[in-house]
Amino acid sequence: MDLQTALNLYGKPGTVFIDSRKKEVFQQGHIEEARHVPYSFVEPLSKETLDALKEYKSIVVYCNREDSEASKLMAGELAQAGIKGVFYLEKGFAGWVKAGGRYTGDAPRGYDKPAP
């Protein structure tokens, strides 16, 4: 999902943002109101997580940057599990912050504020 579409969906009923990064990184900063569901390349997502996500119309999964694979893999795993409306956020958390999206905590490392 491109950043503009994600920004437009943010805060809408039935939409959830999922941060697929490690707990320590999530705690440093994340999209405001995002749920933390760390992606494991080894362990599949729990039935409880899958059941909880079925209630949403749009699920936007993200990690740090566009070149990070965790969000793409998690989005694919969710879709294969039959979850509808799953997308991964192009440009990740860094792109979200740069585009002016709401977040809590610190901006991601390597983030450069846009020129005024």
Burial of 44 (0-12, 13-18, 19+ CB in 10 A): exposed
**52 with 115: CB under 8 angstroms?**
no
Instruction: Tell whether the model's pLDDT for residue 3 goes beyond 90.
Output: yes
Distances (CA, A) of 35 to 20, 44, 113: 9, 17, 25
Largest CA distance in the chain: 46
Instruction: Tell whether the model's pLDDT for residue 116 goes beyond 50.
Output: no
Q: Which domains does the chain have, with CATH numbers?
A: 3-85+92-101 (3.40.250.10)
Task: Kindly report the pTM of this predicted structure.
Answer: 0.90
pLDDT tens track for 65-115: 777 788 999 999 999 999 999 999 999 999 999 999 999 999 887 655 544
pLDDT tens track for 23-73: 999 999 999 999 999 998 888 899 999 999 999 999 999 998 777 788 999
